[in-house]
Chains A and B, each alone.
Chain A
Amino acid sequence: MLKGRRRLYILIGFGVLALLPLASPKLMSTYYLDLLTKVLIFGIALLGYDILAGYTGLVSLGHALFFGLGGYCAAYTINNYSTNLAPALALALMCALFVGLIVGYLSTQTKDIFFVFLTLAFAQFFYLAAFNLTTITGGDNGITIQKVTLGLPRIWETGVPRPFGFYYLTLAVFFVAYLICLKVITGPFGKVLVAIRENEERVTFLGYNVRRLKIKSFMISISLTTVAGVLFACYQDFVSPGMLHWILSGDFILMSVLGGMGTLAGPVLGGAIVLMLGDLLSSLTENWMIFIGGFFVLTIIFAPNGVVGLLSGKRWRRR
């Protein structure tokens, strides 16, 4: 799938991530490991987001729907049936694929800004439902989740020690997600998605069913975001309607654009920048988003391809 240097870089990258906690216990204190775990969880969601927004060119303002849906499904199975991660993931994915098919089918009727707002509308349904159906979702108070376990249910199960265990669990999932995305975008399917982004009409003329391809891209995208949502809920041992709020979808866009949409590394890097900068700045002022906002505005004006675009020397070109 990949040859030579790029594979080497990727392996080095993951090697560093895997060895980081072991290398220097002082540097990688619990605190930073916690931050890094969150960065990776968001990274999974952002990889998914990028398939749709970056590669297919459909910017969604509704991905929090699937992040939150994953979280609530996980909360439900873990608290009611089994603390094991596997059934939680399975149920969350089933729910998300079902909801995603409907939302994806309807939303892809529109494009550009209308797509942005239709996805927003669907996500807000779920946010308001979670907020108002207090008997099921606990409303604004959210739900506390039991500690998640791994292994075979009823035969052999083990808890996930924190922070190390969860870090490696997240890293493993992130690795798989990254490989899936790499496979998708380097294959013929990914090339058609980019073609849709660049010139939808021409792809139609070539005989592709653009609508179906868009829905497919949507489904892959939301699946990864759902998995991230499950992990996030399990990591926090808690879900609240905030996981469904459009502000979170806005954060996904912000992170992706900062890092550079349409590259796999970009959005993950953007997520890391926002989360780490946010962590750093929040000790200075409660209104740290003012700086992120400023950084973001400068990015859009001077480097619309994000940090990765800046690094690779590619500037935005007028179409």
Chain B
Amino acid sequence: MDPAIIVTTILHGLTVAMVLMLVAGGLTIIFGMMDVLNFAHGSLYMLGAYMGYTVAVTTGSFTLALLLAPVAVGIIGFFIEYFSLRPLYGRPPLHHLLLTFGISLITQNAIKFIWGNDIYSVEPPEFLSGAVSFFDIYYPKYRFFVLAFSALLALVLWYVIAKTRYGVVIRAGTEDIETLEAHGINTQRVFTAVFVVCSALAAVGGAAVAPMRTVYPQMGLDIIIDAFIVVIVGGLGSIRGAVIGALIIGQAIQLGAVFLTGFGDVAIYIVMAAILLLRPQGLVPETT
């Protein structure tokens, strides 16, 4: 096979992985801290894309869309956490999965109600349209931007978690929430903050991929399953696992699409089933 195709495929896989990481990273942090598997995370990503689209169309500025969409979704995330998740802390994780499943139904249908069933395309900013070429490969500039932008966000996230005081609280929270509370931290407030930030991250992901993948009513469902698979493969609650999982699943999606024509989508399920059967707790069992 043409090496150019393989390189392009792997680059695509990397781009997909970076976006998945924004969504799955939030998922895994939320799970690690609050034992909540947030089914609505895909809807928040989708909401980010739709809001980004609206901002981009009304103001004509994509940069503004990339900034405003996460703020708006962060606020929605606050309401979701405050009014529906809070009363449920301490119940079995399954209750949260079901609750957020309900929330995702509401959000998905609300989006369809507001924006309709149409597919929208978003124009990337002028300086990011077109393609770069190196060796024999043409690669869209915008995809490089998504790759770099998401990687940068992931790095910032890593820095916050690994090096700052907030990070210490988050890591402590994923280890043992009661001890954290005993140290005088208001864990309720930490939960809210974490949920809001993770919602915003998902929204950035959604807004950023909009020019690449268009904005469509199924996008929330598409991403949530992929992101869940990433988190399950990586090990629930493990941040490092989410990164590894995203890289594996990103490649599986793209390589599957190229080498298993017509059955590309099966690849990720094969990877997930295999990993779950060999290592039922995921690749990096729950430690941060």
Interface residues of A (CB under 8 A from B): 59, 106, 109-110, 112-114, 116-118, 120-122, 124-125, 128-129, 132, 246-247, 250, 253-254, 257, 285-290, 292-294, 296-297, 300-301, 304, 316, 318-319
Contacts and interface: CB of A to CB of B under 8 A. Distances in A.
The SS class assigned to the A binding surface is helix
A109 B280 contact: yes
B155 to A, nearest CB: 29
A288 B113 CA distance: 10
Nearest to B277: A106
Nearest to A295: B102
Contacts of B103: 293, 297
Contact of B276 (A118, A254, A294): A118
Give the most central of B93, B269, B277: most A CB within 10 Å.
Answer: B269
Given A59-B94, A113-B94, A296-B105, A287 B277 contact: no
A300 B99 contact: yes
26 contacts: A59-B94, A109-B277, A112-B93, A113-B37, A114-B232, A117-B229, A117-B276, A118-B272, A118-B276, A121-B229, A125-B266, A125-B270, A128-B266, A129-B266, A254-B101, A290-B109, A290-B113, A292-B105, A293-B103, A293-B109, A294-B106, A296-B102, A297-B99, A300-B102, A316-B91, A319-B92
A294 B77 CA distance: 16
A289 B106 CA distance: 7
Contacts of B276: 110, 114, 117-118, 121
B191 interface: no
A289 B105 contact: yes
Interface in B36-50: 37
A223 to B, nearest CB: 23
Contacts of A129: 266
B141 interface: no
B178 interface: no
Interface in B126-148: none
Interface stretch (B82-90, B157-165, B200-208, B238-246): B82-90
Interface string B93-118: 11101110111111011101100000
Given A110-B280, A112-B94, A132-B263, A301 B109 contact: no
Given A125-B266, A289-B108, A290-B110, A301 B99 contact: yes
Nearest to B106: A293
Given A113-B236, A300-B98, A293 B105 contact: yes
Contacts of A114: 232, 276, 280-281
Interface of B: 37, 84, 87-88, 90-95, 97-99, 101-106, 108-110, 112-113, 221, 225, 228-229, 232, 236, 262-263, 265-266, 269-270, 272-273, 276-277, 280-281
Contacts of B92: 319
Given A128-B263, A289-B108, A318-B91, A253 B101 contact: yes
A297 B84 contact: yes
A253 B98 CA distance: 8
B118 to A, nearest CB: 13
B87 A113 contact: no
B101 A121 contact: no
Give the most central of A59, A285, A300, A319: most B CB within 10 Å.
Answer: A300
Contacts of A246: 225
A120 B224 CA distance: 13
Nearest to A285: B113
A121 B6 CA distance: 27
A77 to B, nearest CB: 26
A120 B277 CA distance: 14
A113 B97 contact: yes
A109 B92 CA distance: 20
B91 to A, nearest CB: 7
B55 to A, nearest CB: 23
Given A113-B232, A124-B265, 16 more contacts: A109-B277, A112-B93, A113-B37, A113-B94, A113-B97, A117-B276, A124-B269, A125-B266, A125-B269, A128-B263, A257-B98, A285-B113, A286-B112, A288-B109, A290-B109, A297-B103
Contacts of B112: 286-287
A250 B97 CA distance: 11
A246 B42 CA distance: 15
Contact of A304 (B95, B104, B106, B263): B95
A141 B58 CA distance: 39
B273 A118 contact: yes
A297 B276 CA distance: 30
Q: Which 6 A-B pairs have the closest CB atoms?
A: A293-B105, A290-B109, A296-B102, A293-B106, A287-B109, A297-B102
Nearest to B99: A300
B109 to A, nearest CB: 4
B87 A301 contact: yes
Contacts of A120: 225
Contacts of A247: 221
A104 to B, nearest CB: 13
